[in-house]
């Protein structure tokens, strides 16, 4: 990893790339509140909570710059398009400003790209009508796909108007890899679509490797440890 790349980043910039994930099914309300407060303290890009927690997160983070995100069709992507649209509208009504939707993996692997693209398109259109500034990210679940399928998924997401393509849910057989990030960046227009790395990013070095591979956002739950490590490396006596 390039030392000049690391030297060019500040702890604040690192925190500003993170979508802090609060998605475990066993999380208590108290843990969600604590996680949102951590986001406010560290000034992350966003918090990504379960759909049932959106209103709570929006309340806790009111008055901060932290965006409230949630997941749609999570974690398998197999709910109907109509259900994904309804879930998206409800999330926006509850205070979300970012949506991470799972594409229909089975339809993608069946070669039904028209279905996959329309599924994404309908969510994007509904979200943008409801909140024009809404950011829609499309989760591919790369560990279940061939490289050709990843490319097809990225192109479908781009053509459907998505803002991001994202590697993983963090709840399948694998997470973000540098190879996948480079592939996703290489087959999309950087002026139209951003790339989010998610899944298995637990250390600062993991995060930096993803950023160097052209990721724009990082999904992580080890936010405090990652940013604190960056602060330690940047400390005057670290050298």
Q: Give the residue numbers annotated as catalytic, written as ranges.
A: 166, 196
Q: How many CA atoms lie within 13 A of 81 on its CB side?
A: 14
Cβ atoms of residues 90 and 51 within 8 Å? yes
Name residue, tokens 């087959």. Answer: 187
Q: Is the peptide bond before 50 cis (omega within 30 degrees of 0)?
A: no
Q: Which of 135, 149, 40 is nearest to 103 (CA)?
A: 149
Give helix 204-212 / helix 223-234 axis angle, nearest 10°.
80
Strands 217-220 and 194-198: parallel
Task: Please name the residues in contact with 22: beta carbons below 8 A apart, sequence gap of 6 or more.
Answer: 31, 32, 35, 36, 47, 48, 49, 50, 53, 57, 221
Tokens found for residue 114: 């028209």
Q: What span, in angstroms and rounded, lies between the C-alpha atoms of 199 and 205?
A: 14
On whether the CB atoms of residues 137 and 164 are closer than 8 A, the answer is yes
Question: Of 79, 73, 76, which Cα lies nearest the Cα of 100?
Answer: 73
């Amino acid at each position: 990893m390039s030392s000049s790349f690391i030297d060019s980043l500040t702890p604040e910039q690192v925190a500003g790339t993170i979508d802090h994930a609060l998605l475990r099914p066993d999380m208590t309300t108290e843990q969600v509140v604590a996680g949102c407060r951590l986001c406010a303290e560290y000034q992350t890009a966003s918090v990504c909570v379960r759909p049932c927690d959106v209103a709570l997160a929006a309340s806790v983070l009111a008055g901060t710059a932290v965006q409230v995100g949630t997941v749609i069709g999570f974690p398998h992507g197999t709910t109907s398009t109509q259900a994904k649209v309804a879930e998206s509208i409800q999330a926006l009504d509850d205070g979300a400003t970012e949506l991470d939707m799972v594409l229909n993996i089975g339809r993608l692997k069946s070669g039904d790209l028209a279905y996959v693209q329309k599924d994404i398109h309908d969510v994007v259109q509904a979200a943008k009508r409801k909140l024009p500034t809404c950011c829609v990210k499309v989760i591919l679940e790369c560990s279940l796909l061939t490289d050709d399928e990843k490319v097809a998924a990225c192109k479908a997401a781009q053509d459907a108007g998505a803002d991001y393509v994202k590697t993983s849910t963090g709840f399948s057989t694998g997470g973000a890899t540098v190879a996948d990030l480079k592939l996703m960046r290489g087959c999309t227009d950087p002026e139209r679509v951003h790339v989010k790395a998610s899944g298995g990013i637990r250390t600062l070095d993991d995060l930096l490797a993803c950023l160097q591979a052209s990721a724009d956002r990082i999904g992580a739950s080890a936010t405090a440890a990652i940013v604190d490590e960056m602060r330690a490396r940047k400390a005057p006596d670290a050298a």
